[in-house]
Structure 1
């Protein structure tokens, strides 16, 4: 989120409205007026220099302090802006109309720092002084939206629009939240506007709700723009325009437009994956990095498939071929690391895959039998990767069988290796028996 885009407007509006006519003869007031002129001309560097000079002339002049804080915030000097807004609070009179403004700006500073709890406190304080402060209403809405309270966020955005109907920030964020706060009746009406249900439909079904969420999602992904770029002359039945001729005109997808969009994106993605080197036969079997299919049975993209496609457009591979395994998550890798440490503490040593094959050949036991009865432990790292361990610290002859054979094999390469005694192995060898029968099961 680029907070500067959310709150760039109106930073110095309160300051610019401070009357100066009664202080026309005052040097500080004249200085501040000169700085405001520079600010209005977007000459922020000169404005900052001027306001700094004004504050030096009178360090308790609220007008000068607020003006300097405002221009510093415009320049993203958060520490400087915070300092002078707090300085202004020290000298503001109880009946000053700017308490709400200052706390709202302090909220913006905390929000830009991603200090959401502090920002929430500042916006709340601002609204105590002025319940109609639009900046604070929008800012508070942003924070509660981040916290997961979509309904609460919608209420703040609606309140902001009630005060300032043309506030495009609040309107845009409110539109983004429609699937989360609209009532069943409102969703049903929205579907009728999109010709997605029959005009006489009176009750919203779960399938209708899911359809609205899907169409709305594609609208927020700039689906209308996509279709306009796709078709030199876009079919009129694909898009409907709401609030035509107003400052918040909005184009939405019809059901036909949604279906055309989904089909078109699915085909575009097919071509992108093919150009990325994926064989045609494998494209519809691609999965995301969690192993989920990225294509639906209708050859359209799933939500995760859309992300994989957009990443592929940036030459970033975020898909798995049918032959590729799902990569382990960091949490799973940490769990495996801890399991290996636990095995070592319990007296296990790691052996190679070739040593496992040696065990099977020497004992005639299956891997399953070696695991169940003879001290072999298998740690599954991934679909195609396994690590093997044998118990090296045990008084149980059965559990020590695998370790005995491993050490005997290693002694052939290194005479210094010590081979532990194992009564079970030695008894079977004495009588010429094998440990397991032809089916790989242990002979009792």
Structure 2
């Protein structure tokens, strides 16, 4: 039995039931640690957590250094979200464990879960990494590490961890669900083209993925993640057959997806609903199609469907929150300022910079271990402050005499190349030298490794 499920009571139950202590009763009826642990396991499996806690506490009184009792009590406390208590006994177990103990990986993985619950992501990442040193197939740690890397913006890196977890435990629903969420970021061109064919969104004989195809896949996938299928099911007593396709029927991997026809119908229905919501909120019908988002962009397309920003405005309106501008309302900030920003962006592009997203910046930071300040001061990152809460990021894409300036662009293109083999990754002597010796570009404190 694997003692590593995922972020749930199921994991702790699996661990407790994995403990190997046999049922032993001492002569004269005096309880032994082994029989005490057996009673605690029965209470835990019955979800009688307070009784299990009392029993495991009694086991520790019989033998204060018993690792299995420490881990069992820690597990019960974690089930009840007593993070401090759980941490105390997991750490106590680490001090009592023999070098050959099979529980090192499990214990560090649970400490990773505790840190993650506390939003101490750096510490959680350290604990999961330590766990994987003892057992590279610890599914809980693989998924936990993937979650943190995903939070950091390295979506491709997160997908690799989830895939590794599924290679060990194919039925792990958490890893599978999170992997599905990341499909636009990690699917190869061929995989994405096949996914579009499954949705009847490209010709059956299409041999190459175009940029328009890629954008279409991202849009359909986003609609699915926004529960668009449930939306259609609420609209129709029976959803038209041509709107949905189901793959892996009657298996644990069964999945419904929108076809191209279903996606178009969904967009049309949402657009119609949005019109009604805006009118109900007091917007005259003559002004509805001229509504803009807070950046001044129209929220309706020419075909009366919503833009991506328009969908956000619509969902805010459903919560009675105004996130749109009427035709006569000024755009904050002013258009003159936006023009100034646009001019500066063009200057940067002319100078050989390319713009990256915040997620891409986080991915570069994760790969290099460099702080944003180090990237700015020494590695060619340019940050354009648009407003107090809006920043745009640029990296130099041209070859320069200083290889440091090309480090961010190297990692950016290396990430793209994982998905599209046709992407050319530029050479960079600094990165290649550090990679040869197994170094990252920066130290753990975010400063450049000189």
- Corresponding position of 1:60: 65
Note the C-alpha offset of 1:56.
2.5
Separation (CA, whole Å) in 1 of partners of 2:223 and 2:149: 24
- What is aligned with 2:38? 33
Question: Cα offset for 1:328?
Answer: 5.7
Q: Write the distance in 1 (CA, Å) between the matches of 2:307 and 2:54.
A: 54
- 1:268–1:61 CA distance, 2 compared to 1 (3 A): same
Partner of 2:158: 153
Which position in structure 2 is the counterpart of 1:16?
17
* TM-score, normalised by the number of residues in structure 1: 0.71
Does residue 185 in structure 1 map to residue 190 in structure 2? yes
1:248 aligns with 2:253: yes
Larger CA deviation: 217-226 vs 16-25: 16-25
CA RMSD of aligned residues (A): 2.0
**Alpha-carbon separation, structure 1, partners of 2:229 and 2:204:** 23
Distance 1:275 1:125 in 2: 55
Inter-partner Cα distance in structure 2 for 1:294 and 1:6: 39
Give the deviation of 1:211 after TM superposition: 0.2
Equivalent residue, structure 2, for 1:43: 48
Structure 1 residue 246, shift from structure 2 partner? 0.4
- Secondary structure in 2 matching 1:252: strand
SS of the aligned residue for 1:241 comes to strand
Shift of 1:136: 0.5
Query: Deviation at 1:35?
Result: 1.7
Which residue, out of 87, 96, 112, partners 1:91? 96
The 1-side partners of 2:176 and 2:209 are apart by 25
**Equivalence for 2:299:** 294
Cα pair distance change 1:301/1:5, threshold 3 Å: farther
Corresponding residue for residue 133 of structure 2: 128
Give per-residue Cα distances to partners, 1:274-319, cap 9 Å, x unaligned.
1111111111111223332221222111122112211211222222
Structure-2 separation of matches of 1:56 and 1:291: 68
- 1:370 aligns to what? none
C-alpha distance in 1 between matches for 2:193 and 2:129: 35
Could you tell me how far apart the structure 2 residues matched to 1:322 and 1:184 are? 41
Match among 121, 139, 142 for residue 137 of structure 1: 142
- Give, in angstroms, the shift of residue 50 of structure 1: 1.9
For residue 11 of structure 1, give the secondary structure of its aligned residue in structure 2. Answer: helix
Worse-superposed segment, 101-110 or 313-322: 313-322
* Structure 1 gaps, min length 5: 333-444
- What residue number does 2:167 align with? 162
1:324 is matched with which residue: 302, 305, 329? Answer: 329
Pair 1:6–1:284, CA change in 2 (3 A): farther
Instruction: State the shift of 1:324 in Å.
Output: 2.2
For residue 27 of structure 1, report the CA deviation from its aligned partner. 2.0
For the residue of structure 1 that corresponds to 2:232, the secondary structure is: helix
Shift of 1:268: 0.6
Q: Offset of 1:185 from its aligned partner? A: 0.4
CA distance in 1, matches of 2:9, 2:288: 45
Q: Matched residue of 1:287: which SS?
A: coil
Q: Secondary structure at the match of 1:114?
A: coil
Question: Could you tell me whether the CA contact under 8 Å between 1:157 and 1:171 is conserved in 2?
Answer: yes
Distance 2:23 2:97 in 1: 18
User: Aligned to 1:251, what secondary structure does the other structure show?
Assistant: strand
Q: Report the Cα distance in structure 1 between the residues aligned to 2:7 and 2:228, rounded to whole angstroms.
A: 23
Residue in 1 aligned with 2:83? 78
Gaps of 5+ in 2: 338-450
Structure with larger RCO (C-alpha < 8 A, sep 6+): 2
User: So what's the TM-score if we normalise by structure 2?
Assistant: 0.70
Match of 1:198? Answer: 203
SS of structure 2 residue aligned to 1:109: helix
**Conserved 8 A contact 2:105-2:135:** yes
Q: Partners in 2 of 1:140 and 1:11 — Cα distance?
A: 19
Q: Deviations over 1:14-46 (max 9, x none)?
A: 232111216454522222221221111111122
Rg bigger for which structure?
Answer: 1
Contact 1:11–1:105 under 8 Å retained in 2: no
Q: Establish whether residue 114 from structure 1 lines up as the match of residue 119 from structure 2.
A: yes
User: How many angstroms apart in 1 are the aligned matches of 2:61 and 2:298?
Assistant: 65
Between 261-270 and 17-26, report the one with greater CA deviation.
17-26
Q: Cα deviations across residues 219-239 of structure 1 (Å, max 9, x unaligned)?
A: 111111111111112110000
Which digits, 9 at most, give the CA deviation of each residue in 1:260-281, with x for residues without a partner? 0001001111111111111111
Instruction: Confirm or deny: 8 A CA contact 1:12 1:67 kept in the other structure.
Output: no
Structure 1 166/236 Cα, relative in aligned 2: closer, same or farther at 3 Å? same
Is residue 239–residue 252 contact of structure 1 (8 Å, CA) maintained in 2?
yes
How far apart, CA to CA, are the structure 2 residues paired with 1:6 and 1:271?
A: 42
**1-structure distance, mates of 2:60, 2:180:** 43
Instruction: Kindly indicate whether the alpha-carbon contact (under 8 Å) linking 1:168 and 1:248 is maintained by their aligned counterparts in 2.
Output: no
State the partner residue of 1:394: none
The residue number in structure 1 matching 2:212 is 207
**Alignment coverage as a number of residue pairs:** 328
